[in-house]
Amino acid sequence: MDLTTAFPRSPRITVNGVAMVARTADKARADASGTLGAYTYACRMSRALFAFLGTDASAFRSATLTSPDDAGVGGHIAECLTSLKRTPEDVAAFNAHLLGVPDPENLAGFLEERTEVAPDRPDIATHADLIDFEEGRDIPIRPS
């Protein structure tokens, strides 16, 4: 994956039902190949993913690199979910939190970034929306 010429997948794309895994896997592959570009592999959202899974950036990267598709990282995710006894409800709650409205401690930074990236889109209310908007994915206009 060359993130100097392409975007990683949306944070909304799941692997084993978990949000952010596909995007983080894309960044791990790019980091390993030296083509991460302006992206950060273990960004705030990826660190939240690692914490939820009980893994770290190194183990996640290693699992990602075991196969050219998401099979390797999918196996790692399944092992993590099983070892931590994460339920489908736990996964749904994690996804809702990660993809939802920013926590109060992150709100000011989000609003500042939204002003820079999408000044005419006050309806963009989440980091996932902002990422997708910035990378050219369609974000339907919603009442704000």
pLDDT band at 142 (very low <50, low <70, confident <90, very high): confident
* Residue 100 DSSP symbol: S
* Model confidence pLDDT, tens digit, residues 110-136: 999 999 999 999 999 999 999 999 999
* Model confidence pLDDT, tens digit, residues 11-52: 999 999 999 999 999 999 999 999 999 999 999 999 999 999
pLDDT band at 70 (very low <50, low <70, confident <90, very high): very high
- pTM of the predicted model as reported, rounded to 2 decimal places: 0.94
CB 10 within 8 A of CB 23: yes
Structure tokens at 51: 């914490």
Domain ranges for the chain: 1-86, 100-144
pLDDT for 144: 66
Structure tokens at 128: 């996932």
